[in-house]
Structure 1
Amino acid sequence: MTPPDPTYHSPRGGLPPQTDLLTDRAVFTEAYAVVPRGVLRDIVTSALPGWTGMRMWVIARPLSGFAETFSQYVVEVSPGGGSDRPETDPAAEAVLFVTEGSVDLTVDGARHDLGEGGYAFLPPGADWALHNSGGERAVLHWIRKAYEHAEGVDVPAAFVTNERDVVPTPMPDTDGVWATTRFVDPSDVRHDMHVNIVTFEPGGVIPFPETHVMEHGLYVLEGKAVYRLNQDWVEVEAGDFMWLRAFCPQACYAGGPGRFRYLLYKDVNRHARLWHGR
């Protein structure tokens, strides 16, 4: 059976009415945080120098007691907006993932059209630009990490693809109800971060509390589920973001009625740092 076409949630901004209750699902703990989609409003957006027609929601940034290895933005680019020099840090690598509309991405002189589901890896020092040449807004995730060089290991090259062109890999012994769309080979040690898409069919589970060294950022693209984070069960839905500290126990139950999918960041393939600042 052919799987359904992927769908992607993008924030709309705005403000809730004054009659709404304050109650929501936002949680911030030492081990994890949940940023529900209802808090991604106009008043918490930021802009960047060198851009036109853009605003962004910063959903993760390096911070004591929060994300340590990465930052993640949800970027909205208006028609005609963009930047000829989006990245000003020569040490930063990036992944871009488009959830709405399309953008023109130019990397080292080569132009690419990224529509919904479009994915780009940009190594440190890449010469890239991004513009919205269409008539509708575009929304994309921009995940940034300081690349960690390793002796004798080349820096990976830039590449552009779309999730529709990448066959998901079923997890062992799950009958295909749990699968991961991997954009790079896990054994390729040139890469020190992975940004994948994880899919659960209704009834799919992570049947044990994963407890590991990788830090996670999870943005729910589609569906809903309950997540076990540390000692808590939390409900999440499309548009929510979760940050999981290294070694935070985590499990999941996707009860349906539709698929549950999220964009997943993790740091990989490098020594644990023994000294801060090195």
Structure 2
Amino acid sequence: MTTYARPPGGLPPQTARPDDGAVFTTAYALIPASTMRDIVTSFLPHWRDMRMWVIARPLSGFAETFSHYVVEVAPGGGSDRPESDPAAQAVLFVTHGTGTLTLDGADHPLEPGSYAYIPPGTDWNLTAGTELIFHWIRKAYVAADGVPAPDPFVTSDAATPLRPMPDTGGRWSTSRFVEPDDLRHDMHVNIVTLEPGGVIPFPETHVMEHGLYVLQGQGRYLLNTDWHEVGPGDYMWLRAFCPQACIATGDEPFRYLLYKDVNRHMPLRV
């Protein structure tokens, strides 16, 4: 059965001790689920009855291409003016609850597993039916001469097939919501699934920046030179070229939502 993690909110009891494994280095950050409490939430103008955890934002000298929010909206809450930046594109991925996303005047029901891509400049709004929790990943779109901007679309985790990685026997797969060679897109937000015992069998080292939110399961993850035990709701934030690898250690699939920037020249000037 597919389940999705959520921030715990609240506050730990006074008997707890602040030793949750949070790490911030020059190469990566590990933000455990246990840090996503009430006192670290933020709010936005033009939203009703919402709060959010900002778990990634552009930082000079670190990861610079994207922001990542986990948004919680009370029943009836939402926004008619959700985005303030006309250059921002977005992916929304719902983990809990129900609601309605309106894209260019068309309504789309939201439920756990819903996935929406929203191009820059798109007219959209969102209303929660029940308590709604979703990931909101934003990136300034980089246009390419002669390449049209992407179209908006709404799909779901359940409707997107797992694509096994070569020579893995299906133990390491990716749910790709956009085709890798679709050059209209300059970011991918996918779901990676490793079956119990599955591995990423080499330390990936590449130009893409990453945000990885663990949706389900347990894993042992290599970040630069350090191995970390990670589980539901933990977040890993990697700058370019940070080595990474993974071993799925639990008895259920290990799944994470993965951001990366793709398909564009490297900027040579600020």
In 2, the alpha carbon distance for the partners of 1:220 and 1:12 equals: 14
In 2, the alpha carbon distance for the partners of 1:185 and 1:10 equals: 28
1:14 matched to 2:10: yes
AA aligned to 2:184 is R
Instruction: Please name the residue that 1:234 is paired with.
Output: 228
CA shift, 1:88, in A, is 1.1
Query: Which residue, out of 145, 154, 174, partners 2:139?
Result: 145
Instruction: Please name the residue that 1:159 is paired with.
Output: 153
Query: Which residue, out of 65, 71, 83, partners 1:69?
Result: 65
Q: Deviations over 1:33-79 (max 9, x none)?
A: 00000000000000000001000000000112433100000000000
Whether the 8 Å CA contact 2:8–2:34 is kept in 1: the answer is: no
AA aligned to 1:226 is R
The normalised TM-score by structure 2 is 0.99
CA shift, 1:6, in A, is 1.5
Query: Which residue, out of 23, 46, 52, partners 1:50?
Result: 46
In 2, the alpha carbon distance for the partners of 1:236 and 1:10 equals: 14
1:246 matched to 2:256: no
Instruction: Please name the residue that 2:25 is paired with.
Output: 29
Query: Which residue, out of 102, 105, 108, partners 2:104?
Result: 108
1:175 matched to 2:169: yes
Structure 2: state its 5+ residue gaps.
Answer: none
CA shift, 1:239, in A, is 0.2
Structure 1: state its 5+ residue gaps.
Answer: none
In 1, the alpha carbon distance for the partners of 2:59 and 2:225 equals: 23
TM superposition outliers: structure 1 runs of 4+ over 6 Å: none
In 2, the alpha carbon distance for the partners of 1:217 and 1:165 equals: 23
Query: Which residue, out of 250, 265, 271, partners 2:265?
Result: 271
Q: Deviations over 1:150-193 (max 9, x none)?
A: 00000000000011001110000000000000001100000000
CA shift, 1:126, in A, is 0.3
AA aligned to 1:94 is A
Instruction: Please name the residue that 2:126 is paired with.
Output: 130
The normalised TM-score by structure 1 is 0.96
Instruction: Please name the residue that 1:207 is paired with.
Output: 201
| Identity fraction in percent | 67
CA root-mean-square deviation: 0.7
